[in-house]
Structures are given as structure tokens and as C-alpha cells.
Amino acid sequence: MSDETEARRTPLPPAFIEAVRTGNVGAVKRMIADGYRDFDHPEPETGLSAVHYAAARNAVAILKLMIAAGPCDFTRKDRQGRTPATLAVEVADNPVLGRYLYDQQYRQNPHAQPAGDAASITRKDRRAR
């Protein structure tokens, strides 16, 4: 996506990001029902999206809601170059969620699949910490 297109996107309301950050499943569910769908819109300062926050928080229920409601870009990187899968492993310390998100990431972009499967990538990332 070009910078110009990115700038035209309507960011998620701060209340949605806050609900994801705090793990408020009910609030996220209500806001999705009200039509919020641009889960990939990054915060300008950090590059983090709602998907990143949910992964870092280990908020599996919220990730399921977002995945069911609309497209989620699992390949998007934050300003530090981290994908949601990386945050699930490094921040949430959940290698199972990390593996799932890696699989989703490489389904979206199979040409970027690194050597080895998601399990070996997850193990390598955990050892590097």
C-alpha cells in the first residue's frame, strides 16, 4: 500500500484499540458489530495495528473475532519490523499462537516463506531472545 493510500485510511477509533489492548472482548465484539473493520490500520508512531496488539496481548478470542469479521494482514510489520506472529512469540510468550499466526502470514504471502516450517521458526525465535 502506498503512503498516500495509507494516509487516506480511516484509523480505528482509539476506543477500539484500547479495548484490544485491555482484552475487553465484549467491547471489541460490539464495535465490530457496529461496523469497524480496518484492523490493519497502524498507529503512526509505532506502526502497531489492532492485530499486533491482540497478538502481543495473547488475546486469542479477540483475534478470532477480527479474523471472522474481516481481512487481517498478518504480514504487516510494525516500526521495529515485527509481525503479529513475532509479537505472539516474543511478547505474549505463546509459541502456539505464534505458529498459527506464522502459518496465516505465509498463507497470505507464500513467496516470503523462509526455509523451514513455522515450528522451527518459532523455536529459533524463542532461542534468540
Mean pLDDT by 10 residues, the chain (129 residues): 52 84 96 91 91 96 94 93 95 95 86 55 53
Q: Mean pLDDT, the chain, as a whole number? A: 84
User: What is the pLDDT, as a whole number, of residue 68?
Assistant: 94
**Which burial class, exposed, middle or buried, applies to 49 when counting CB atoms under 10 A from its CB (0-12, 13-18, 19+)?**
buried
User: What is the pLDDT, as a whole number, of residue 70?
Assistant: 84
User: What is the pLDDT, as a whole number, of residue 107?
Assistant: 86
User: What is the pLDDT, as a whole number, of residue 79?
Assistant: 96
Find the DSSP H helices in 1-129. 3-8, 14-22, 25-33, 50-57, 60-69, 84-90, 95-108, 118-128
Quote the CA–CA distance of 60 and 57 in Å, as a whole number.
9
Interaxial angle between packed helices 95-108 and 118-128, expressed in degrees from 0 to 180 and rounded to the nearest 10: 130
User: What is the pLDDT, as a whole number, of residue 8?
Assistant: 54
Please give the single-letter amino acid code of residue 129: R
Correct CATH for 3-128 of 1.10.540.10, 1.10.3720.10, 1.25.40.20, 3.90.1330.10: 1.25.40.20
**Contact call for residues 62 and 92 (beta carbons, < 8 A):** no
User: What is the pLDDT, as a whole number, of residue 112?
Assistant: 65
Half-sphere exposure of 91 (CA within 13 A, CB side): 15
Three cell numbers, residue 94: 505463546
Q: How many CB atoms lie within 10 A of CB 66?
A: 22
